[in-house]
Amino acid sequence: MKDFGYSINKDKQIDFDDNNKEVMNKVLRMEPSLQVCIACGSCTATCSAGQFTGFNIRRVHTFLRRGEVRFLKKEIMKCMFCGKCQLVCPRGVNLRNLILALHNSLEINGL
């Protein structure tokens, strides 16, 4: 196919049959402070891992909320756990524990 320098995005329609909200419920139980997240993206802006790669914790959160959890494990593997995100968070979300909770919750769900 000819390269026009752009491509057609895949359909972004959310498929509720395929999405898994179970992971998010577990994560919220393990780390309730995530409830107050305003998705400002400060965490992502300061992220140490984000300096070197496309790791984006705000996006991880968005996909977690949507229940699109398939690729999350591969994403959070990049976290260096340095804790900068937690210090800049204006809402006091406990992000390091969130990553741990996400690891655990994905593991429980076999993802």
Partner 1 sequence: MTFNFFVLPFFLGLIFVVFYIIKSFAKWIGDLDDEDKTKFRNGLRSPKLFAALSEIFFECLLHRRMFRKNALLGYMHMSFAFGWFMLILVGNMESRIYSGLWVNPPYYPIFLKFFIHDKHVLPFEIFSVPGFFRFFMDLLLLFTLSGLVLAILKRSRSRWFGFRHTTKHQLTDRVAMFCLWMIFPMRLFAESFTAGAYGYGGGFATQHFGNLIAFLWPLSDKMIAYAFWWLYSLSLGIFFVTLPYSRYMHIPTEVLLVVFRNFGITPKKEYSGYSEVEVFSCSRCGVCIDTCQISSSAGIHTIQPVYFIQSIRDQQVKPDIAMQCMVCGRCLDACPVGINTDSLRIMQRKTFFRDHISDYSYLPKAVQIPKTEVLYFGGCMSHLTPSIIVAMKKILATAGIDYRMLDEDGSICCGRPLVLAGKEEQAKTLMKANIERIMASGATTLVTSCPICLRVFKEDYQLDLKVMHHTQYILEIVKKGMIPIQSYFKRVAYHDPCELGRGCGIYQEPRELLRKVADLVNVEKENNEAFCCGGSLGLLPLSGVQKDQITKDNLKNLLADQPEILVTACPLCKKTFAKHSETEVRDIAELVANSLPAINGKTGNNSLQRQKDSTFRMKAISI
Q: Which parts of this chain interact with partner 1 (CB under 8 A)?
A: 31-33, 46, 48-49, 51-53, 74, 77-84, 87-88, 92-94, 96-97, 100, 103, 107
Nearer to partner 1, 66 or 96 (CB): 96
CB of 103 to partner 1, least distance (A): 5
Nearer to partner 1, 14 or 77 (CB): 77
- What one-character-per-residue DSSP string does 25-68 give? HHHHHH-GGGGG-----HHHHH-TGGGTS---HHHHHHHHHHT-
Nearer to partner 1, 34 or 64 (CB): 34
Single-letter residue type at 40: C
- The CA radius of gyration of the chain, in Å to the nearest whole number, is 15
